[in-house]
Structure 1
């Protein structure tokens, strides 16, 4: 979430850029559900970061 907010993106905008549903962004940020590696990779690509950065820092 920090990475998304630092870039000034809403969940909707990030979801659009990552080509995933907004609910996946919410689930990823809140750890409410298991998120696939595919989704993590798409989100990381949209943010311009390594997928491990999202997992390590809580994004």
Structure 2
């Protein structure tokens, strides 16, 4: 529902996903701007994913995986 607070579990899932994206990006020595360009996303949107603020769609998750050159499943590991 719009306007409802996120549960602890929802926040934890978003944070874990975002941390994985950020870790893989940093392992490659890339800035957020580098990955945003490769994944065709705005840098601020990527930053909000990495901090767990955003809940990216499946299409965005696929773009992130392609940009990072990893299988989608690795973003959830």
What TM-score do you get using the length of structure 2 for normalisation?
A: 0.66
Paired residue for 2:23?
2
Paired residue for 1:46?
67
Structure label with greater radius of gyration: 2
Q: Contact 1:44/1:50 (CA < 8 Å) preserved in 2?
A: yes
Structure 2: stretches of 5+ with no match in the other structure: 1-21
CA-based RMSD of the aligned residues comes to 1.0
Deviation at 1:40, TM superposition (A): 1.0
Using the alignment, how far apart are the partners of 1:24 and 1:50 within structure 2?
Answer: 21
Structure 1: stretches of 5+ with no match in the other structure: none
2:37 maps to 1:16: yes
What TM-score do you get using the length of structure 1 for normalisation?
A: 0.83
In the alignment of these two chains, the number of paired residues is 56
